Amino acid sequence: MTQPEELDRWFPRLPEPSPAQRLGIVVGGSLSKGLEVKLDPQTVVEGLAVGRYVVVHGRTGRRFFSIINDVALDAVNPLIERTPPDVSDSFIARVHEGTSTFGRIHVAPMLVMEGESGEPKPVKTIPAHFTPVYTASEEDVALVFGRETEPGYFYIGDPLEMEGVHVALDLNRFVERSAGVFGKTGTGKTFLTRLLLAGIIRQQVAVNLVFDMHNEYGWKSQDEARQEVKGLRQLFSTGQVSVFTLDEESSRRRGSKVDAVVRIGYDQIEPEDVDSLAGLLALSDVQVGALYFLRRRLGRGWVARLLDEEDRLEDLDEALERGTIHGGTLGAIQRKLGMFRRFGFLRPRVEEDPVGRILEYLDRGVNVVLEFGRFGSSLEAYILVANYVTRRIHDHYVARKEAALGGRGEEPRSLVITIEEAHKFLDPAVARHTIFGTIARELRKYNVTLLIVDQRPSGIDPEVMSQIGTRVTCLLDDEADIRAVFSGVAGSQPLREVLARLDTRQQALVMGHAVPMPVVVRTRTYGTPEFYAEIVGGEEGPEAVLARGRAVLRGEGDEEI
């Protein structure tokens, strides 16, 4: 027998472990710091990645569901690091592999389940020495996260290194509290947000109002390869999703089908709407206070009169003489409000109430996407309109909810409001004064929650961040942003390394109210025929579903879908 054959006989090369196969045994650790696991000789270290989902099978029937947050190399004799063997000899290399040298992983236990039918519970103890550790199986994932076939659950992606195993998000819990999608620019936040919105609409757990800053959610958009992908309006029928626009000309150029054009009259604007722009317009506290005085003195037409260069504002002569308002303050306000002239959706007078029209759709259960067209490039326009619309919708929901509590009407449908560039609305200096800060802190008290999309979570008020129920986080590389994402999350230290190791595209760490434990997923691809088919399929058979999905892909998805 030759030397290699003898080696294979005594030290056979074993295949990389398949799902639900043993990885190693627990050799140390603590509840606060996690568990140290020595890998078995047959376990390939390179096949294990930070963020992978594993299960520790305890001796008393308990199963500890855990996440790998570190991978390391170790040796029985520390001198081997200083005098490594000659690995050019394959016999020597394979003798050392798994015996004198071995791999280790550090895992963070997140949940424990007792028995086969027990409910997952928070971890309050740890397994004993030499407890075996296994890769998670498809059944393990289903036990913890639920099944996509259950009502209210939606498949969002596969756990790391577990392709084909589906993680389902509990959308009923997702919309119960405000949620956030975070990640640096280019990580696919918009596609991920569109995926979540499609799930909410498909499962009918809430109605959505989307402030579409870059015109990416309504009719169509493009991926990084410049390939066209369908928006929510093409995926669903008119009775499910409608598109409103501030810029009819831009929508027409892009071929976007719209259901209504939004116009806002100067006489419909209140000081609270301008107050939300104080930071961008550099309005001082004195100037903000003067807005309310001007509204009282000049009436509903206060904005139009301030912008009318021929109006001498004689009503204010007495106030100027008394010093109630300073002439310099009045002039500064007029100059800064002059920005409104650039926004074509603002008119001196508008007969229709734009918010009333939107509410009419929302009350019928129709999801609304508000496109900004070319005005989306102006942060001032985006903040003005989003705050204007949301403030009035919130007032409507408060009145409806209180009437329902008094037995004088039905509760309004659950509403999710999606905003981008959220840190501009929720900056610590303004969050306590804006309607978005109020909604985030109310925890669905009036059936309204936020879905905030942002690349700078560190710019959001920490008090608001602590109220974000579910956080779906793509790659972040700024330490302040990483700290912000984990604010208010108990035991977050092991997850920091996981977040730092995410791929730049199509990977996200999901944690919070809608999932029993944090999980890293490779998010499903938005824009494939299979995805379209599932979304529009309903209760039809597989062949009909695929045919209708291909119809959507060809751009035929409208009333006929």
User: Which residue carries 């989902």 as its tokens?
Assistant: 53
Pick the closest to residue 265 from 303, 295, 308, 307 (CA basis).
Answer: 303
Instruction: Give burial (CB, 10 Å; 0-12/13-18/19+) of 16.
Output: exposed
What are 29's strand-pairing partners? 35
Task: At 497, list the tokens.
Answer: 């390394």
Residue with tokens 């020595």: 38
CB 337 within 8 A of CB 331: no
Question: Could you give the dihedral angle defined by the CA atoms of residues 43, 45, 51 and 53, in that order, rounded to the nearest 10 degrees?
Answer: 0
With beta carbons less than 8 A apart as the criterion, state whether 90 and 55 touch: no
What pLDDT shows up at residue 20? 64
Supply the pLDDT for residue 21.
84
User: Can you name the residues that pair with 180 across neighbouring β-strands?
Assistant: 452, 471
Phi and psi torsions of 221, nearest 5°: -150, -170
Contact 244, 373 (CB under 8 A): no
pLDDT computed for residue 172 by the predictor: 95
Distance from chain centroid for Cα 472: 5
Q: Are strands 34-39 and 22-30 parallel, antiparallel or unpaired?
A: antiparallel
Q: How far is CA 203 from CA 123, 175, 345, 530, in A?
A: 31, 12, 34, 17
Residue 23 near residue 37 (C-beta atoms within 8 A): yes
87, with CB counted inside 10 A (0-12, 13-18, 19+), is exposed
Q: Compute the distance between CA of residue 313 and CA of residue 224 in angstroms, rounded to an integer.
A: 53
CA-CA-CA-CA torsion sign (448, 454, 460, 464): positive
H or E element in which residue 234 lies: helix 232-235
Q: Which residues contact 139 (CB under 8 A, 6 or more apart)?
A: none
Give the dihedral sign, CA 251/252/256/257. Answer: positive
- Maximum distance among all Cα pairs of the chain, rounded to whole angstroms: 112
Q: Which residues of the chain have pLDDT under 70?
A: 1-20, 98, 116-117, 225, 238, 433, 537-561
Token pair for residue 30?
């603590």
Residue 72 CA to residue 55 CA, distance in Å, equals 19
In angstroms, rounded to a whole number, what is the distance separating the alpha carbons of residues 258 and 242?
A: 7
Provide the pairing of β-strand 220-222 with 228-230: antiparallel
Return the axis-axis angle of helices 354-363 and 379-405, rounded to nearest 10°: 50
Q: Return the ∠ at Cα 440 (arms to 436 and 445), rounded to 5°.
A: 115
Quote the pLDDT of residue 487: 85
Tell me the DSSP string of 299-355: -TTHHHHHH-TT---GGGHHHHHHTSS-HHHHHHHHHHHGGGGG-TTEES--SS-HH
Round to whole Å and give the CA distance between 417 and 473.
19
